[in-house]
C-alpha cells in the first residue's frame, strides 16, 4: 500500500504539470504581446494547460520513473514555448513576415507595430500646424508627422533634419550625423542618420514628402535595439508616395 505522502503527490501531480506548461505559455504570451489582454495569448495558455493536464493525469498513477519522464516532457514544453517566443520576437523572423501598412497623407510605409495619434498644439511651431503619430515603443521609436505651413515654407530636407533632431534631443542626443548619401529631390527626401544613445552608435532612417506647403515626415529611431541591415532595407523599400516607391532600390 502507498503511504499518505505518495497518495497526495499523485493527486497533486496533474496540477504541477498544468502549472509548468501554463507558465511557459504565459511567458510566451507576454513576450509576444505584452501584458495587455490578447485572445491569442489566452488561447495558447488554455491549450498548454490542457496538454499539461493530459500529461499529468496519464502519468499520475505511474511509478516514479514514469512521473519523472512526464516531468521532463513538461519542462521541455516550457523550454520550447520560451524558445518559440524568442524566435518569433527576433528580427530574423520579423523581417520575413508581412508588415502592416501605415498611411500618412500621400505617403505610406510598412512597419511591424501599431500606432497611436498624438497631436501637438499648433502654438508649438509658430508658422505651422503639426500632427504627430507614434508607436510609443521605447526600444525602437517611430513617428510620423504632418506639417501645414502658414508661410515661409522651409526646404524639405531642412524640415526633416529639424524634426528628427528635435525628437532626438528629447532623449538626450546632442549630435546627429546625416548621411552624405541622402537621396533628395524638390519634393522627396530619403536619408539615414547616425547618433549615440546609451553610449552606442546607431543608425536611423528618415523620409519626407512635400506637396506645396503640406509636408509629411516619417522617422525611425533605434533607442535600445539597433536596426539590422535587413530591417533597414525593408523599411526603405516600403516607403511609398501614392502607390510608387519614393526612390528605386539602390
What pLDDT score was predicted for residue 60?
Answer: 79
What pLDDT score was predicted for residue 1?
Answer: 47
Residue (of 241, 207, 38, 221) closest to 134 by Cα position: 221
Q: H/E element holding 22?
A: helix 4-33
What pLDDT score was predicted for residue 144?
Answer: 87
Three cell numbers at 68? Answer: 519523472
The structure's pTM equals 0.76
Q: Exposed/middle/buried for 211, CB within 10 Å: 0-12, 13-18, 19+?
A: exposed
Assigned fold of 98-245: Protein Transport Mog1p; Chain A (3.40.1000)
What pLDDT score was predicted for residue 120?
Answer: 54
CB contact set of 223 (below 8 Å; sequence gap of 6+): 138, 139, 140, 141, 171, 197, 198, 202
Across the chain, which has 250 residues, the per-10-residue mean pLDDT values are: 62 88 92 79 93 88 82 94 91 91 90 73 59 78 86 87 91 92 91 92 95 92 91 93 80
What pLDDT score was predicted for residue 13?
Answer: 86
Q: Exposed/middle/buried for 105, CB within 10 Å: 0-12, 13-18, 19+?
A: middle
DSSP string, 26-45: HHHHHHHH-SS--HHHHHHH
Spans of all domains in the chain:
4-89, 98-245
What pLDDT score was predicted for residue 59?
Answer: 84
For the chain, helix, strand, coil in percent to 5 are 40, 25, 30
What pLDDT score was predicted for residue 238?
Answer: 93
Query: Strand locations in 2-71, DSSP E?
Result: none
Amino acid at each position: 500500500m502507498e503511504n499518505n505522502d505518495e497518495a497526495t503527490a499523485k493527486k497533486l501531480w496533474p496540477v504541477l504539470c498544468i502549472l509548468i506548461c501554463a507558465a511557459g505559455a504565459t511567458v510566451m504570451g507576454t513576450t509576444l504581446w505584452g501584458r495587455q489582454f490578447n485572445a491569442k495569448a489566452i488561447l495558447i495558455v488554455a491549450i498548454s494547460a490542457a496538454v499539461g493536464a493530459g500529461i499529468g493525469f496519464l502519468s499520475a498513477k505511474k511509478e516514479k520513473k514514469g512521473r519523472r519522464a512526464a516531468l521532463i516532457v513538461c519542462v521541455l514544453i516550457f523550454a520550447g514555448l520560451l524558445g518559440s517566443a524568442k524566435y518569433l520576437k527576433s528580427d530574423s523572423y520579423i523581417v520575413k513576415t508581412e508588415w502592416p501598412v501605415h498611411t500618412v497623407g500621400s505617403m505610406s510605409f510598412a512597419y511591424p507595430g501599431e500606432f497611436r495619434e498624438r497631436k501637438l498644439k499648433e502654438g508649438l511651431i509658430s508658422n505651422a500646424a503639426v500632427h504627430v503619430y507614434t508607436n510609443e515603443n521605447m526600444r525602437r521609436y517611430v513617428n510620423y508627422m504632418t506639417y501645414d505651413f502658414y508661410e515661409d515654407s522651409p526646404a524639405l530636407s531642412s524640415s526633416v533634419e529639424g524634426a528628427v533632431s528635435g525628437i532626438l534631443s528629447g532623449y538626450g542626443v546632442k549630435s546627429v550625423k546625416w548621411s552624405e548619401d541622402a537621396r533628395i529631390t524638390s519634393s522627396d527626401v530619403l536619408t539615414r542618420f547616425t547618433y549615440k544613445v546609451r553610449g552606442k552608435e546607431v543608425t536611423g532612417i528618415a523620409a519626407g514628402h512635400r506637396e506645396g506647403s503640406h509636408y509629411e515626415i516619417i522617422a525611425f529611431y533605434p533607442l535600445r535595439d539597433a536596426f539590422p541591415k535587413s530591417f533597414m532595407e525593408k523599411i526603405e523599400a516600403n516607403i511609398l508616395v501614392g502607390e510608387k516607391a519614393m526612390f528605386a532600390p539602390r
